[in-house]
Amino acid sequence: MASDKIIGIDLGTTNTAFSILEIEQPEVIPNQEGERTTPSVVAFTDSGEQLVGNLARNQAIQNPTRTIFSIKRKMGRRDFTKEIGENEFTPEELSAAILRKVRRDASEYFDEDICRAVITVPAYFNDRQRQATKNAGEIAGFTVERIINEPTAAAMAYGIDEHQDQRVLVFDLGGGTFDISIMELGEGVYDVIATAGINHLGGDDWDSALVELLSERFRKEHDINLQKDPEAKQRLQEAAEKAKKELSTRHETRINLPFITATEDGPLNLEDRITREEFEKITEGLRKKLRKPTEQALKDANCSTHDIDNVLLVGGATRMPQIKRVAEDITGKDPSTSINPDEAVALGAGIQGGVISGRKDDQVLLDVTPMSLGIEIQGGLMERLIPRNTTIPTQTSKLYTTSHDAQSSVYIQVFQGEEDIADRNELLAEFELEGIPPAEAGTPEIYVDFSIDINGIVEVSARDEMSGNFEAVRIVGGSGLSDEELEVMKHKADKIEDQTISDDHRFIARERANRAAGVGERLLLNQDIPLTPTAAIHIEAGIDRVETLLEDPESLTKDLESATEDLLHDIELHGGTEALGEDTPGMQTN
């Protein structure tokens, strides 16, 4: 039966976390693996199995071209698809794969079908990106109850235990986005006054700066560009992220990547050393970018740094000392340490879920739209109809007419952004108002309504006053997916889901079987461990059985598991694993 519970999901660039509020306080829900965050990574094996989370991340080096990281950076882009074999996946579908795992894990945790969710997005996401996130939720089988902004969610998690009125600045640097929000909190009311940010700036960029540095140094020494080799690049990226994290607590770190590549003379290793000082030097340009949006938000909120009572740091990348320093520099305040930057957003989303499901009724959220909404007028200029930082939901109307006699249609282009030249902004939709009854120029009255709903999603509709015609609008290049397209994607995801559940399971079973067979082989070949002829025959037969099942795509996972257990049992019985000094794959040996 479908549950009435509403979970809150922080669908992050790097990690995803989810929570629920059942009584008073929100709590993070652990995933199936028992962890509080799930890597936002999706992969497809050569045989077409889909992996999500840790399983996907752990095989990335062996399978770099079929592993997808940071898909959030591509959200809202209709020109991007990832080709995997014969299939193509949109950013919505890949994000949906992550959300499907969330749904599965939460449903398993509560033993109820969890299908309602609040999902967070960076405050600075535009309409297209919000719509794409909502679609991803729906493809994953959720009813998306609300899209809320990440910094707002973080402030809710912080504010739930605060009883004093205050003005806070949320400084949110995640894996791929940077957001600043200024809001007023007091007695359960969260009133966002201004928000600003950069949609494509995050911890990933700090990793890339390190990758550049390391590969450049390697190139100078060996004249080889590691970035051309997908496997080497993937290893380099992982090492760079690790080094970056280490430099958050240490002043120096070493990078050691054996056999990163090979020449005619043999394998080459990458061995390097980076100090925090060097790291900060090469990322100075990135740091500089943080200042402008922060100042912009302060200006839009009509306040100076003196009016800010508290600074909250959110997003994993704010763990870097250089980021803390920038936030301190700009705001002149010591950031609060009372929230966990990795969990605050998910917890806030959980609170909002609790509010919507009626479990909590003393929290009110007043959010704003991050960007101005407007239309193109004469001379290619942008006329702003809803200015940025207007409290949502909001709505406005504009009266149109014709410029020549018997004109039967008008063309309207809707943009979002702050540029004065219309087409430098994001084009959301193009409308052709058709079917205007023949009339003298300037007499028809056509009202076009522009609204932004509580999720920050834009809706446009038009009405011809004379004919009362509402259907005279035709979307020429809409931003969202049609209902039919959504249905097709849901269907495709259902099919993959059928595979994934058993495949996650099968993947683990296969890994275990392979390793067991390997241990068995080594035991048979090892001259130092004498086996009785009967034991050898047993083990050989066990390996054969496991390998036959591994090669047969139709074999049942449970048969493979039982053959693996039998083989492991025989190996154990003859002291094989101990003598070889190996861990029995997955077996409790204590």
**Catalytic residue list:** 10, 72, 150, 172
Decide whether 201 or 382 has the Cβ nearer to ligand AMP. Answer: 201
Apex 475 CA angle, 473 and 476, nearest 5: 130
To ligand AMP, the closest distance from the beta carbon of 173 in angstroms equals: 8
Q: Let me know how long the chain is.
A: 590
**Residues 38 and 53 sit within 8 Å (Cβ to Cβ):** yes
- 10 Å Cβ neighbour count for 229? 15
Cα dist. 59→68, 204, 497, 507 in Å?
11, 19, 20, 11
**Residues 166 and 310 sit within 8 Å (Cβ to Cβ):** yes
Decide whether 148 or 375 has the Cβ nearer to ligand AMP. Answer: 148
Decide whether 324 or 359 has the Cβ nearer to ligand AMP. Answer: 324
Decide whether 120 or 577 has the Cβ nearer to ligand AMP. Answer: 120
* Alpha-helical runs (H) found in 143-199: 150-159
Binding site for ligand AMP (CB under 6 A): 12-15, 174-175, 202-204, 241, 244-245, 248, 315-317, 319-320, 342
Q: Which two tokens stand for residue 185?
A: 């909190």
Decide whether 204 or 504 has the Cβ nearer to ligand AMP. Answer: 204
Decide whether 123 or 317 has the Cβ nearer to ligand AMP. Answer: 317
Query: Of 154, 93, 147, nearest to 125 (Cα)?
Result: 147
At position 44, the amino acid (one-letter code) is F
Q: Helix (H, G, I), strand (E, B), or coil: what is residue 444?
A: coil
Shortest-Cβ-distance residue relative to ligand AMP? 203
The residue with tokens 């120096």 is 252
Decide whether 317 or 448 has the Cβ nearer to ligand AMP. Answer: 317
Rounded CA gap, 20 and 33, in Å?
A: 18
To ligand AMP, the closest distance from the beta carbon of 38 in angstroms equals: 11
Q: Which two tokens stand for residue 68?
A: 């997808």
To ligand AMP, the closest distance from the beta carbon of 288 in angstroms equals: 18
**Residues 221 and 260 sit within 8 Å (Cβ to Cβ):** no
To ligand AMP, the closest distance from the beta carbon of 244 in angstroms equals: 5
Phi, psi dihedral angles at 479 (to 5 degrees): -90, -30
Query: Of 518, 559, 553, 556, nearest to 539 (Cα)?
Result: 518
To ligand AMP, the closest distance from the beta carbon of 57 in angstroms equals: 12
Decide whether 257 or 382 has the Cβ nearer to ligand AMP. Answer: 257
To ligand AMP, the closest distance from the beta carbon of 257 in angstroms equals: 18
DSSP at 287: H
**Residues 311 and 161 sit within 8 Å (Cβ to Cβ):** no
The three-state (H, E, C) secondary structure of 490-549, written as one string: HHHHHHHHHHHHHHHHHHHHHHHHHHHHHHHHHHHHCCCCCCCHHHHHHHHHHHHHHHHH
Helix (H) or strand (E) holding 171: strand 166-173
Q: Helix (H, G, I), strand (E, B), or coil: what is residue 377?
A: strand
Query: Of 565, 584, 582, 570, nearest to 531 (Cα)?
Result: 570
390: Cβ–Cβ under 8 A, 6 or more apart, which residues? 368, 369, 452
Query: Of 211, 240, 244, 205, nearest to 227 (Cα)?
Result: 211
**Residues 81 and 90 sit within 8 Å (Cβ to Cβ):** yes
Cα dist. 492→10, 89, 90, 366, 498 in Å?
24, 10, 12, 37, 10
To ligand AMP, the closest distance from the beta carbon of 13 in angstroms equals: 5
Rounded CA gap, 144 and 22, in Å?
A: 18
Decide whether 342 or 367 has the Cβ nearer to ligand AMP. Answer: 342
Query: Of 66, 13, 11, 72, nearest to 43 (Cα)?
Result: 66
The residue with tokens 């080594």 is 522
The three-state (H, E, C) secondary structure of 228-239, written as one string: HCHHHHHHHHHH
Decide whether 243 or 517 has the Cβ nearer to ligand AMP. Answer: 243
To ligand AMP, the closest distance from the beta carbon of 547 in angstroms equals: 40
- 10 Å Cβ neighbour count for 582? 15
Q: Which two tokens stand for residue 557?
A: 């996972």
To ligand AMP, the closest distance from the beta carbon of 222 in angstroms equals: 28
265: Cβ–Cβ under 8 A, 6 or more apart, which residues? none
To ligand AMP, the closest distance from the beta carbon of 100 in angstroms equals: 20
To ligand AMP, the closest distance from the beta carbon of 320 in angstroms equals: 5
Decide whether 245 or 490 has the Cβ nearer to ligand AMP. Answer: 245
